[in-house]
């Protein structure tokens, strides 16, 4: 099972109006509870509107989390347990297109304004991810160059090492200077 990862681009700690964007099933999504707050409706009413207009929400627009994904998500965002009034059912996750479709289904002025805001948040997140990918590609190129240089430097050191450390002279083969027995 794939881990549920919160994205850092939208953190409710920095701005309470910004929904947290999670990565679930390799898709960036906003949970129904966060989307309801953003659109100014009760989560229950949002789910009812989605249910009434199910034909507008294919699986690539929204999906219900599995129990495992829900438990994993609860542990990461520290939501309350069902014994203390927390969510009892796994939430619905909305992709970018699902968030926009939810705004059209709700038809409120705030939903329209927030859908525009949400589109901008997803665009900003994509730009940040794109910038990060550019940096990572550049780092990979630098790493490759460093490895190439490392190989070349090793070869240079191997070739220079005999010159830097000449072999020890064999004293027995040298003729001695001066008067010595056997030196005639």
pLDDT at 1 over 60: no
Contacts for 155 with CB less than 8 Å, ≥ 6 apart: none
Angle CA 136–21–51, to nearest 5 = 140
Question: Where exactly are the structural domains of the chain?
Answer: 5-127
> 174 falls in which pLDDT band (50, 70, 90)?
low
pLDDT at 122 over 90: no
Specify the pLDDT at position 143.
Answer: 92
């Amino acid at each position: 099972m794939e881990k549920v990862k919160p994205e850092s681009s939208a953190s409710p700690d920095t701005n309470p109006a910004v929904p947290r964007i999670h990565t679930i099933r390799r898709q960036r999504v906003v949970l129904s509870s966060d989307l309801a707050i953003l659109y100014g409706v009760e989560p229950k009413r949002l789910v009812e509107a989605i249910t009434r207009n199910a034909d507008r929400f294919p699986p690539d627009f929204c999906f219900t989390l599995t129990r495992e994904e829900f438990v994993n998500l609860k542990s990461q965002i520290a939501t309350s347990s069902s014994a203390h009034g927390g969510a009892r059912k796994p939430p619905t996750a909305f992709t970018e297109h699902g968030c926009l479709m939810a705004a059209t289904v709700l038809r409120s002025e705030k939903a329209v304004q927030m859908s525009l805001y949400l589109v901008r948040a997803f665009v900003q997140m994509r730009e940040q991810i794109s910038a990060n990918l550019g940096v990572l590609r550049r780092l990979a190129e630098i790493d490759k160059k460093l490895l190439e240089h490392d190989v070349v430097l090793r070869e240079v050191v191997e070739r220079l090492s005999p010159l830097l450390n000449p072999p020890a002279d064999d004293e027995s083969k040298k003729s001695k200077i001066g008067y010595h027995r056997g030196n005639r």
